[in-house]
Structures are given as C-alpha cells and as structure tokens.
Amino acid sequence: MLAYTQSLLNFGILLPLFLALQLARDRRPDARRRQLGLAAAGALGAVLSLALFYGRYVPILLDMRRGRPMAEEQVLLDKREAQARAAALSGAEPAPAEEETDPYTGPSLDPWRGLRKAAWRLYVFYGLFAPVAVAGAVLAWRRAESPDAARFVAAWALTYLILNLASGGLPGPNLVRYNKDLEIIAPLCCLGLASAGEWIWSWTRAGALAYGAVFWLFGLARARGLLIDRLWLQG
C-alpha cells in the first residue's frame, strides 16, 4: 500500500474510525490504555512512512503550490504542440483535446452520486459476486470472534463508503478522486466471499462446491480478459 500516496488517506480514515468505535463501545478497564497505544502506533507509522517513503513527494507538492509545471505536464504540452504543427503542415484541423468523462463527479454536493459510485466500483471489480461480498462481510461482522474484531470490520467497511462519498459525493474533481478504495477493501471482500462460502457449506456442501467452482470460472474469465487486453492486443 505504500506504493500509493492515497493510502495515507485510507489509513487516516480507517484508524480514527476504529478508535472512535472503540472509545464509544469498549468499556473494559484497560481499554483506554490500549486505545492510546494503538493511536501512538498509528501516528508513529504515519511519521515513519512520511519520513522514509513519502518525503520524496514533498518537493512536488511545493512546486504545485508555487504553480511550477511538472515534468509530465511539459511532456503533454510538447505532444500537443507537435500535433498542432503536424496538423498545420497537412492542412488538417487540429485534434481536439481529449476530455475525460466521469459520471461520478460533478460541481455540486451529491451524496447519492457517491453511493452509486461505491456500488458501481464493487460491481466493476467483482461482477455478480459484489452483493455476495457485501452480504458475506455483514456475516463476518455478525460472526466476529470478539467485539473488537466486529468493530474493526465495521470501520473497514465504512472506510470504503466514506472514500466514495468523498470522491463521488463532494464537488469535484477533487483530491480524493483517485483514492485506492478497492485496494483497502479487497481483503474485506475476500473475507466476505469466504464467509459466504462457509455459510453455504453449513447448509449444503454441493452448493458450496458449486459456489467455489463458479467463482473460480469468474476469476479465470477475468484473468483471460486482462491477459488479452494488456498483453496480446497491446503487443
């Protein structure tokens, strides 16, 4: 996760959410000491990640604040200038600038748009298994071995929802538009899919085997499509 700078935001939401739930619900005598320890560990981890990894991005942030163009921006400007010169020499009209269309961004506050984005992104990556992953996550929350584990699962799921409410529901494009929400929620989705399979197994082993086989075929089809799109067609 350190490879993505937005991971700081992800964990910056997950950890405080979990601590808030712990503060509100955990009444054990040593609860505050453990919560302070977790908060201190989280703060130390953030400081270390900034110092050892993300520090390299500070000069870029300062350049952005001062209005200095990035190297990638200059490459894009040079490319457009070369296209304009080629079009002028051939007598053709310059190609219009490419505009990225995103149905989940807009100039106004729209929480419903953020909720739709959260549902759509789950469907894009998990297909018809998206509702199974959600139902399985709820099942994992209800069957958690301890209240701490249940609250962590709840905070985990809420983190995904908040990230999409922020990126899709707030006026945008905004700074959290490209948050790595699916990376942080993927393990929870795996837990949800496994919990659903375990529940089906408790009712019918044949159904659980069929469920596993269908998911295996789904994964195989996705892998095949990815291989074709990114290797064969691009090659």
Q: What DSSP string describes the chain?
A: -TT-TTHHHHHHHHHHHHHHHHHHH---TTHHHHHHHHHHHHHHHHHHHHHHTGGGGHHHHHHHHHTPPPHHHHHHHHHHHHHHHHHHHHTPPPPPPP----TT--SS--HHHHHHHHHHHHHHHHGGGHHHHHHHHHHHHHT-SSHHHHHHHHHHHHHHHHHHIIIIISSSS-TTTT--HHHHHHHHHHHHHHHHHHHHHHH-HHHHHHHHHHHHHHHHHHHHHHHIIIIITT-
For residues 225 and 230, give the distance between their C-alpha atoms in angstroms, rounded to a whole number: 9
Q: Which residues constitute the domain of residue 119?
A: 7-60+101-203
- For residue 3, the model assigns a pLDDT of 59
Report which of 154, 126, 182 is spatially closest to residue 17, judged by C-alpha positions. Answer: 154
For residues 171 and 132, give the distance between their C-alpha atoms in angstroms, rounded to a whole number: 31
Residue 81 belongs to some domain of the structure: no
Residue 179 belongs to some domain of the structure: yes
Residue 192 belongs to some domain of the structure: yes
- For residue 8, the model assigns a pLDDT of 77
Cis ω before 59 (30° cut-off from 0) = no
Residue 84 belongs to some domain of the structure: no
Report which of 174, 187, 38, 33 is spatially closest to residue 114, judged by C-alpha positions. Answer: 174
Query: pLDDT digit string (tens) for 75-129?
Result: 777 777 887 777 777 776 666 655 667 888 888 899 999 999 999 999 999 999 9
Residue 224 belongs to some domain of the structure: no
- For residue 191, the model assigns a pLDDT of 95
Residue 107 belongs to some domain of the structure: yes
CA distances for 152 relative to 28, 29, 44, 118, angstroms: 17, 20, 20, 20
- For residue 15, the model assigns a pLDDT of 92
For residues 226 and 222, give the distance between their C-alpha atoms in angstroms, rounded to a whole number: 6
Low-confidence ranges of the chain (pLDDT < 70): 1-5, 71-74, 92-100, 230-235
pTM for the full model?
0.79
Both tokens of residue 110? Answer: 């729209």
- For residue 98, the model assigns a pLDDT of 59
- The number of distinct structural domains making up the chain is 1
**Residue 10 near residue 1, CB atoms below 8 Å:** yes
* CA-CA-CA-CA dihedral for 160, 165, 168, 169, to nearest 10: 180
